[in-house]
Amino acid sequence: MAEKFTIYSSAESQWVGVMLLALEEKGLKANVDYDVKEISLSTGENFAPEYIAINPNGTVPSLTAPSLAKPLTESADILRWIDSRGTKTLVPQDEARSKEILDLMHSPSMSTNLILFQARDPVEMESKKKSGWNAFLEGRQTRLDKELAAHPEHSFYISKAAENLAITSLYRAEVGSEHKDLYKLTDEMYRTMASGLDKLESLIALPFAAGSRVSEADYNTIPWLSHAMMGANTPVTAVQDFGPLEKLIQKTVPDFKIGPKTKEWWSNVAKTEAFKKVFPVLH
């Protein structure tokens, strides 16, 4: 019998989707094949010392198993480990293409935090301040401040508290001139994101991302696009509606459109059983 393992998951985590898609692909069952520990990102449970001992980056997901010398903390590595249980089914046909896709989707320049937390002008900033993302940032900051007070020499808490405060402080402040640098940076980052989505369009092979079958290239891209669409205020049940995301990016890049290959690919992956189980709604 294969060893039972533990996953650290969160409904609030974008990249947990990679792991969940892989678990569905392999037909593995919670409480039978693996145990689940839920981590609340909005209250900063991922910053607890006990979790930092498992994942020094404070990110979710993570995976532990008796046979592993140390926990797995990167979603792509977790997918490959899960896929190694039995016959591998998620190895891409075109590994070079798949690597380019994974590198793109996981690059800092494509972070969906841009959509969730940043603003290009006072109107967007006021809207963000009234949104649930304000409470999310405050919840994280409260936990980070608590842990920093308890562990004042811990390099993780020093750097992470300062990083989170850089954006939280702008949410706390009255909208004014001090936000101008954020607006400029955000506009530049939307241009980069538009270019990244154009690159994704050029990389997709069809019918799936890296060939004729579903692979890790698909399962590392689906969670990104779903999260971006959700962040753009797409109705969560409108899984095929790219309009809100396009409109959001068009404010910076007026002629931007999600490409036809990307749309066809999305339609194809949305028909798979794993997608239907993990992404019945955008999240």
How far is it, in rounded angstroms, from Cα 105 to Cα 111?
Answer: 8
This prediction's pTM: 0.97
The alpha carbon dihedral of 46, 47, 50, 53 has a sign of: positive
Are 2 and 33 in contact by the 8 Å Cβ rule? The answer is yes
Query: Strand (E) positions, the chain?
Result: 5-9, 34-38, 62-64
How far is it, in rounded angstroms, from Cα 143 to Cα 150?
Answer: 11
Q: Over its length of 283 residues, how does the chain's per-residue pLDDT go in tens digits? A: 689 999 999 999 999 999 999 999 999 999 999 999 999 999 999 999 999 999 999 999 999 999 999 999 999 999 999 999 989 999 999 999 999 999 999 999 999 999 999 999 999 999 999 999 999 999 999 999 999 999 999 999 999 999 999 999 999 999 999 999 999 999 999 999 999 999 999 999 999 999 999 999 999 999 999 999 999 999 999 999 999 999 999 999 999 999 999 999 999 999 999 999 999 999 9
Angle at which helix 132-150 crosses helix 155-172, to 10 degrees, equals: 140
Domains of the chain, residue spans: 5-83, 95-277
The answer for residues whose C-beta is within 8 angstroms of residue 102's C-beta and 6 or more apart is 76, 216, 217, 220
- Indicate the Cα dihedral angle 268, 270, 271, 274, nearest 10°: 120
What's the CATH superfamily of 5-83?
A: Glutaredoxin (3.40.30.10)
- Indicate the Cα dihedral angle 121, 126, 131, 135, nearest 10°: 110
